[in-house]
Amino acid sequence: MSKKIFSGVQPSGNLHLGNYLGAIKNFVELQNEKNTECVYCIVDLHAITVKQDPKELRRNIRETLAAFIASGLNENKSIIFNQSSVPAHSECAWILSCIARMGWLNRMTQFKEKAGKDKEKASVGLYAYPVLMAADILLYDTTHVPVGDDQKQHLELCRDIAQRFNNDFEAPNFLKVPEPLIQKHFSRIMSLKDGEKKMSKSDESDLSRINLTDDKDKIINKIKKAKTDTMPMPKKDENFKNRPEALNLLEIYSSLSNQSLEKSCDEFAGKNFSFFKEKLSYLIVEKIEPISKEIKRLLNEEKHLDKILLEGGEKANEFASTKVKEMKKIIGF
């Protein structure tokens, strides 16, 4: 059976190693699988759920595209576009917001985290964010959605919305109920400064993450300063409970070298952290520096980048506008 893949990344700048290992690396592998059609979306409508500077947003959209291409996505193999260029996303999101229940959205932990203490001041868009995400996915008859572990709850909501729509309108299977594709291992890369916090673009300390635009010196310096503990490198069957930083660094090493955590533990058990950190920086530089250089090169080719988005948007629009038209018919418009 053929697979239809859809995923989205926000153009909010500072794409980092967590985005790469948790999402983009996987996008590239799926793109190269047989019988698999992939649609990758730069979700600029999601980005404006928090305040954005227009100039910076425009730059970040191009930078996210550049990161996709530099990581190995190819516009001739996958549909790559930005969300706001396909009107069906907004239209479908409104329809689905009349299907989703307040009670379902009230459970979303990401909203609680992002809105912080003052929920009254959060935008309505931030609250409704997962409904727009469901629209993104459902418009393309998506079968699988590759995301990091943090998006699991949103995917469950998307499945609930699809089923409810099909039931309410007696349109069995009209909206395909998608499966999440969450990597079994290394699906949550943690901050370099705190092994219990997710690596995130919004962390105020730049030392907490490796950005995809970091050069060699920055990478080496950040790994040198990464938090560790005072014990030697762990053995493979050791309990990592009190050593989240050691585990995270070993997971980054394993993921980048495509080997199991056990194998990485075997490689370094008993050695000191400075020895391991040197090998780790070397590996990150080897994998990330070419991407970083390519992003910088591509950013000088604005016309080329804009053309990719324009053509991707046209292809996406063909599919999505048909789906939303069918949807409107079912509803009675």
Q: Which of 153, 161, 154 is nearest to 43 (CA)?
A: 154
Closest distance to ligand TRP from the beta carbon of 324 (Å): 16
Residue whose CB is less far from ligand TRP, 124 or 239 = 124
147 binds ligand AMP per the rule CB under 6 A: yes
Task: Judge contact between 275 and 268, C-beta under 8 A.
Answer: yes
Identified catalytic residue from 77, 114, 216, 227: 114
DSSP alpha helix (H) spans, 72-177: 88-97, 102-106, 109-115, 124-138, 152-168
Considering the rule CB under 6 A, would residue 151 count as an interface residue with ligand TRP? yes
Dihedral angle of Cα 214, 217, 221, 222, to the nearest 10 degrees: 10
Residue 146's H or E segment, with its range, is strand 144-146
CB 134 to ligand TRP: min, Å: 8
Q: Which is nearer to ligand TRP, 188 or 293 (CB)?
A: 188
Catalytic annotation, pick one of 3, 77, 176, 201: 201
**DSSP summary character for residue 235:** P
Applying CB under 6 A, does 11 fall inside the site for ligand AMP? Answer: no
Separation CA 133–CA 45 (nearest Å):
10
Interface of this chain with ligand AMP, residues 149 to 208, rule: CB under 6 A = 150-151, 187-189, 198-199
Does position 133 interact with ligand AMP (CB under 6 A)? The reply is: no
Structure tokens at 314: 């046209």
Task: Please give the DSSP secondary-structure letter assigned to residue 251.
Answer: H
Residue 43 interacts with ligand TRP (CB under 6 A): yes or no: yes
Residue of minimal CB distance from ligand TRP? 8
**Which residue, chain included where needed, has tokens 């070298």?**
257
Catalytic site residue from 198, 222, 277, 287: 198
Return the number of the residue (17 or 220) whose C-beta is nearest ligand TRP. Answer: 17
Q: Going residue by residue from 14 to 53, which x/- string records binding to ligand AMP, judged by CB under 6 A? A: ----xx--xx------------------------------
Q: Is-catalytic flag, 55?
A: no
Instruction: Report the alpha-carbon distance of residue 40 to residue 82 in Å, rounded.
Output: 9
Is 198 designated active site?
Answer: yes
Would you tell me which residues interact with ligand TRP (CB under 6 A)? Answer: 6-8, 10, 43, 46, 133, 136-137, 145, 147, 151, 154
Would you tell me which residues interact with ligand AMP (CB under 6 A)? Answer: 9-10, 18-19, 22-23, 147-148, 150-151, 187-189, 198-199
Active site residues: 114, 198, 201
